[in-house]
Amino acid sequence: MGSYVISFQEIDTQHLLVGRKGWNLGELSKIHGIQVPEGFCVTTEAYQKALKQNEAFHALLDQLTLLKVEDRDQIGEISRKIRQIIMEVEIPSDVVKEVAHYLSQFGAEHAYAVRSSATAEDLPHASFAGQQDTYLNIIGKEAILQHISKCWASLFTDRAVIYRIQNGFDHSQVDLSVIIQRMIFPQASGILFTADPITSNRKLLSIDASFGLGEALVSGLVSADCYKVQEDKIVDKMIATKKLAVYGRKEGGTETQQIDPDQQKTQTLTEQQILQLARIGRQIEAYFGCPQDIEWCLVDDTFYIVQSRPITALYPIPKANDQENHVYVSVGHQQMMIDPMKPLGLSFFLLTTHAPMQTAGGRLFVDITHNLASPVSREILLDTLGQSDPLIKDALMTIIEREDFIKSLPNDRKEQSPGKNNKGMSPAGFQAQIENDPTIVSDLIKSSQTSIEELKYNIQTKSGPDLFDFILEDIQRLKKVLFDPQSLGVIQVAMNASSWINEKMNKWLGEKNAADTLSLSVPNDITSEMGLALLDVADVIRPYPEVIDYLRHVKDDNFLDKLVNFDGGQETQNAILAYLNKYGMRCAGEIDITKTRWSEKPTTLIPMILNNIKNFEHNAGNRKFEQGRQKALKKEQELLDRLKQLPDGKRKGKETKRMISLIRNFIGYREYPKYGMVNRYFVYKQALLKQAEQLVQANVIHEKEDIYYLTFEELREVVRTNKLEYQIISKRKDEYKLYEKLTPPRVITSDGEIITGEYKRENLPAEAIVGLPVSSGVTEGRARVILNMEDADLEEGDILVTSFTDPGWTPLFVSIKGLVTEVGGLMTHGAVIAREYGLPAVVGVENATKLIKDGQRIRVNGTDGYIEIL
């Protein structure tokens, strides 16, 4: 026959002809021993032929292409007209002839399921599941032809159109094939996931089963039994009360029937059938090479498979070199950057770190299996992670309590003599050395700046493969700076002093989190200075209404050049350029070298500058800093006065004063090493983009940013040879789109199981949303839920609610009076800067951006770690 209809057996690699669903059925039909109800596909060529000459259809399609998601009314109106045209269009006679031919082969008297199969369905980065229509128990050629038209029309339901707009698909590039499949009338049916959809565990298979046709289950009409199978054993069963079932009617169509009350609680499948179905699932999974979501039916003890598609929502598992069990912890949750990174960004970070890291889903994970196996290192690890993210610690406790997942090593307490670090000096000695050297921080900062200036000078002469050798060499210098024992010692001394103050003041005076107030407005904090410096930029611009008006309408990044045409424009340009010169290498997500820096896109700063002009008066930066400093001094005096009244008060006061001076002198430096790293990254990036320009000129890549989709080593090779298979870039761009949709887990095992932790706390208000308290105080205000820093429209007194913040978000902190994030711990960026600015903050709040709605009035309790919606 022609190319308008093909049977499942004839389907080859061309899923553009039959859509992904049709192609999957063709593949399933080839698997030995798998029963698939027979049938055929009306190809996309039939759909194209039916509408090719229809001018009204194409005119409406052009109109639809111009619309955005928010144009709901127009989408509805145009889509309705398109569906009407499709329903009225005559199916071409040669298509009708081929359908009739296949129907006579399979039996025209039988009932059929008529199902849509779009070319943009079940893709790795967009599932389109349930977007188009399915019709069951259709009998007779005329009814089948009518339902082919209905399936074609369902390509333009409002929800399908909106989904395509959201996912960036061109309506004219998506075609529809129609599956005509022999109808079977099952006693039971359901869905089988070869990886558990709740935990993502690849070894745990999950079966949903109910009586009658599966449509009742898919449409949410009935509850289903749920069986879990692991390694050929049923490990869990949940038997639902099944009151309804959908069955096919003799004359065509379906009906919903009540189930006999004494059958409602019966187990749908026998134990033997459950295990048989599980084996079928594993066979299909092995054939397709990835976890599957499978629709099945049971007829007279035979299982029929009516569909199988990849499960797109599973988080990929980091790769291991062996078959042992492994536990991985997310790096992004520690670094406050849970967005996916592009390959170049990942490879740079891997070059900069000492830790054993793996990549999965565009994110970094550390394999901590070995640390968990040893009792001593387990204790240290849990203690460290517990401080930075209690949810990670709680998830790890779940794994440890199972006992069978990780083999415990014998107790290996070969500790160094108490209190010696690897440089042969005890922490107390190290602390004394740091305490007695007030210039240590300024020396470390000066040394870092000198080193960066040298790098900027030396890199200018490098190009081609030499540049890559030079960068690798300089990364060794960067690592020396990042892991310099003196630098780490300063940070450790300040953190220890904070912990000491919090612990002792609570014990002696009943004062919680005293260190938060004592850390206000400390010197040498490069990140919080960056927020205050943007207030100074606003001060320069505030007197010039013309400039302010110009900035409100700026769209492109060349705006700085045009500023000089306005009164006050030169001063504005100087102020912004000076700011960029010091902080322009920063941005949100800055540990990924491929992220756009403020220097590359200065318009990012404009909304924040305008907010500062609107919300603050002149000299607000200095005033804010001085208010924080006075508050810290006042708190210090208050604590010392209260300690005097205690038994042994003189000694306690003396020790406390010493610890406070350690916090004040050294805690600000904590932000500096990362600033140095991001500075270096930007220098490397500018040099690599020059190489990228040459690759564009040589037609090796299409645009400069294509290099972001190559690793450092791959890019080096492309620069050396001037050759590249461009499909690599296209493939990785698609993968990146998929990764953007995934939520990275804090903890994942080598089985793919995502372990979630929880906060265990009593005596909280009934409706409280719980998180980790990281900056003391209680505040109320309007919640602003902001996922992208560039969309921030804040007024003074708003509370920022977001998924995570890193130094790139700091300029927003001057406008807010409280902070809530989904990710973070005691020492992550948002927490440190919140304490520095005196903002009550709660972090690590699961789903905060969904639970709290933009504009709601909320109360943030940063002392006890919860949020109330008022």
Catalytic positions are: 829
Please tell me what DSSP assigns to residue 763. S
| CB atoms near residue 690 (< 10 Å) | 13
The residue among 283, 321, 225 whose CA lies nearest residue 34 is 283
Greatest Cα pair distance, the chain, in angstroms, is 101
Name every residue whose Cβ is closer than 8 Å to that of residue 473 and which is 6 or more positions away in sequence: none
Amino acid at 853: K
Pairing, β 225-230 against β 327-330: unpaired
Determine phi and psi for 294, rounding to 5 degrees.
Answer: -115, 130
Name 699's Cβ contacts closer than 8 Å, sequence gap at least 6. Answer: none
3-state helix, strand, coil split of the chain in percent (to 5) is: 50, 15, 35
Residue 867's alpha-carbon distances to 756, 817, 840, 851, in angstroms, are 20, 14, 11, 10
Spatial distance between the Cα atoms of 223 and 240, rounded to a whole number of angstroms: 6
State phi, psi for 850 to the nearest 5 degrees: -100, -40
Contact status, residue 660 vs residue 501, Cβ threshold 8 Å = yes
- Write the Ramachandran bin of 589: left for phi over 0, alpha for psi from -120 to 50, otherwise beta: left
Q: Which residues contact 516 (CB under 8 A, 6 or more apart)?
A: 775, 776, 777, 835, 838, 862
Sign of CA dihedral 108, 110, 115, 117: negative
Closest CA to 331 of 351, 307, 308, 356: 356
Could you give the 3-state DSSP secondary structure of residue 95?
A: helix
CB atoms within 10 A of CB 509: 17
Which position has the token pair 């003890």?
Answer: 301
Cα 59 to Cα 52: distance, rounded to the nearest angstrom: 12
Rounded Cα–Cα distance for residues 112 and 151 (Å): 14
Reported in sequence order, the residue ranges of 26-144 that DSSP labels E, i.e. its strands, are 39-42, 111-118, 134-139
The phi, psi pair for 245, rounded to 5°, reads -150, 150
Q: Are 116 and 151 in contact (CB under 8 A)?
A: yes
Q: Distance between CA atoms of 758 and 96, rounded to whole angstroms?
A: 60
One-letter amino acid at 616 equals F
**For residue 568, what are the CA distances in angstroms to 10, 532, 542, 571, 633?**
73, 21, 10, 5, 39
How many C-beta atoms surround the C-beta of residue 151 within 10 A? 25
From CA 841, how far away is CA 789, in angstroms rounded?
18
Q: Which two tokens stand for residue 597?
A: 């820096």
Cβ within 8 Å of residue 693, ≥6 positions away: 704
